[in-house]
Amino acid sequence: MKNLSLQIRRERNLRLLTVSATLLAVLIIVFTVENLLISLVLAFACTYLLSPFVRHLERIGLSKNLAVLIPFLSLLILLTALIVFTIPLIIQQSLEFRDELPKYIEGASLLITKWEQKFREFSPYVLKINLVENAARLTEATVTNIIQSAPKIAQQLFTVSLLSPLFCYFLLRDGHGISKSLLSIFPNNIFEMAISLSYKINAQIGEFIRARLIEAVIVGIVVWIGLSVMNFPYAIFLALFAVLMNLIPYVGPFIGAIPAFIIALVNQEPSLVIMMMALVYLIAQIIDIIFVIPLVVAKTVNLHPASVIIVFIIGAHLMGVLGMIIAVPVASVFKLIFFTIYDQLIKFRA
């Protein structure tokens, strides 16, 4: 009997070691192989976005392959059409921006000089740094950096655009099988907890990603339409930036509006234009707060706003923009894991 329980314990430990080693190996590969992390993040986002459609098609009687293929190809066609439609606009606005860049640098310098003077008048001893010189140096360094890394960014974009659809297709088709195989190596004593956790994580991340994407797209469309109607420069760039930043809860909408205000201030736009621009962002946020958040976002972010800001800063520090975007879902998964383990192991044993 004693031998048997020793054998059971040995087998459990071996399985736990295998699970931990597998997860660690996956994490190391994902974080070290170039472009893999971003490709997987995009693939997971698309998978979670499409999975309700796949489930619906399966429900009406389509085979798994067909149920995956139809929404997958539809999204691919939609994205291609969107890229084809927006690329001429993006090129046109990029050329305009390139031509007007010296004007913005000069305008920004003037603006900063003005603020610097005002600040010195207010407190002559505090500000000892030369803001204009620093801002000019920073702008020059950023522009040079973008120009130098352009070929690398293009290469990364190419790799990611090939890998993420491929991963997305396989995740949609074989995701359940992959997760079932992984669950099969868990030891018997924590197997039910692992199933429960994987189900909860899947549901939570799925809801979070779908809610954030729908929300960000709605905000982006409102900003694009509003700024285009106003004839405000770089409407599409500003809308895309607002979309990207809206993926970050709480702080994202504010960061998303900053470039538009900088452009307006540098261009020395009349107060009416600045007010109208602020109104566009405000309308986008009102639509977001009144209609979108209660319908799609509520309860998907189960973190306190203060925790969100802390994990957002950690994410930004560790992985830049990608870190800011994935910080909240990753933190909510950790919270879920912690409380499930606490409920199952500690509360049960107490």
Residue 95's CB is within 10 A of a number of other CB atoms, namely 10
Query: Tokens 């020395």 belong to which residue?
Result: 268
Q: Which is nearer to other proteins, 5 or 123 (CB)?
A: 5
Residue 254's CB is within 10 A of a number of other CB atoms, namely 12
Candidates 69, 151, 143; CA nearest to 102 is 143
For other proteins, the binding residues in 199-218 under the rule CB under 8 A are 199
Tell me which of 103, 137, 180, 299 binds other proteins, using CB under 8 A. 180
Instruction: Provide the residue type at 118 as one letter.
Output: K
Instruction: Select from 36-44, 162-170, 186-194, 262-270 the region that touches other proteins (CB under 8 A).
Output: 186-194
Tell me which of 137, 176, 299, 317 binds other proteins, using CB under 8 A. 176
For other proteins, the binding residues in 320-349 under the rule CB under 8 A are 343-344, 348
Q: Which is nearer to other proteins, 85 or 348 (CB)?
A: 348
Q: Is 14 in the site for other proteins (CB under 8 A)?
A: no
Q: Is 65 in the site for other proteins (CB under 8 A)?
A: no
DSSP notation for 169-201: HHHHHHHHHHHHHHHHTS-HHHHHHHHHHHHHH
Q: Is 96 in the site for other proteins (CB under 8 A)?
A: no
Cα separation, 146 vs 138, in Å, equals 12
Q: How many residues bind other proteins (CB under 8 A)?
A: 25
Q: Which is nearer to other proteins, 5 or 271 (CB)?
A: 5
Cα separation, 28 vs 21, in Å, equals 10
Instruction: Select from 82-90, 110-118, 179-187, 261-269 the region that touches other proteins (CB under 8 A).
Output: 179-187
Q: Is 4 in the site for other proteins (CB under 8 A)?
A: yes
Least distance between other proteins and beta carbon 217 (Å): 25
CB 45 within 8 A of CB 213: yes
Task: Give the three-class secondary structure for 341.
Answer: helix
CA distances for 113 relative to 30, 122, 268, angstroms: 46, 14, 14
Least distance between other proteins and beta carbon 307 (Å): 24
Tell me which of 130, 155, 188, 268 binds other proteins, using CB under 8 A. 188
Q: Is 268 in the site for other proteins (CB under 8 A)?
A: no
Tell me which of 1, 126, 129, 272 binds other proteins, using CB under 8 A. 1
Cβ-Cβ contacts under 8 Å for 164 (sequence gap 6 or more): 38, 39, 40, 42, 43, 46
Q: Is 59 in the site for other proteins (CB under 8 A)?
A: yes
DSSP notation for 32-81: HSTTHHHHHHHHHHHHHHHHHHHHHHHHTT--HHHHHHHHHHHHHHHHHH
CB 52 within 8 A of CB 336: no
Q: Is 55 in the site for other proteins (CB under 8 A)?
A: yes
Tell me which of 36, 70, 195, 273 binds other proteins, using CB under 8 A. 195
Binding region for other proteins (CB under 8 A): 1, 4-5, 7-8, 11, 55, 58-59, 176, 180, 183-184, 188-189, 191-193, 195-196, 198-199, 343-344, 348
